[in-house]
Amino acid sequence: MFIIILLILTLISTAIHIRAEYAGPRILVYIFKPLMTILIILIAVIQPGSQPDIYRYAIITGLVFSLAGDIFLMFPDTRFLSGLVSFLIAHLAYIFAFTWGIGFGLTLYIALPLVVVGGQMFRYLSPGLGKMKLPVLVYLAAIIVMAWQGWEHWEINVQWYTMLAAIGALFFVVSDSLIAINRFRFQFKSARAWVLVTYMIAQLLIAFSV
């Protein structure tokens, strides 16, 4: 029951954040953006687990660094790189979780589509990256590997909770792609809503995978 309450509060926080992004006041963004992730962290902490404890700890570590990234990205003009580094560490934590005890998966039909998508995304973003080209390339490689290993994890251990992590990883790729397009190529009005919704789904699914 408490997890259901946390889930409802997460959805409410997300809705308030989206409304504040477009209609203000800005103070609600500063409150409800980190609150959303804090609630997701609590879901990962308190729910009963089917995964090893080390998996839970790694996922929680990733969520905590995601929270740091959320806070930094509320100030994108001055803290974007700090946010990028925070989320990079989060993805490394997720990669550790997905490969713990089973090793690094090397299934070609899983890797190839993700690598192609990542390569095309970097090619598309490159004209607008400027000095951010190398940091974005490193980050893009990390998130593609994270999604890849999320699906490898499910391929090796076919369970409903590993499927949640795999789908969540893909939603993370979508969310970050929207952020990158909106920042480095062209801005579109609905970007903030789509980014937040896909990000919330990604983190929720990954949290529930414990």
Closest CA to 43 of 102, 13, 14, 3: 3
pLDDT (tens digit, 0 to 9) for every residue of the chain, 210 residues total? 889 999 999 999 999 999 998 988 989 999 999 999 999 999 999 988 777 889 999 999 999 999 999 999 888 777 888 999 999 999 999 999 999 989 899 899 999 999 999 999 999 999 988 888 999 999 999 999 999 999 999 999 889 999 999 999 999 999 999 999 998 888 888 888 999 999 999 999 999 999
Q: What is the pTM of this model?
A: 0.93
| Pure H helices in the chain | 2-23, 26-46, 53-73, 76-99, 108-125, 133-156, 160-184, 191-208
What's residue 43's pLDDT?
95
Phi and psi at residue 164, in whole multiples of 5°? -60, -45
CB count, 10 Å around CB of 122? 17
What's residue 189's pLDDT?
85
Which DSSP letter does residue 130 get?
Answer: G
Q: How far apart are the first and last CA of the chain?
A: 17
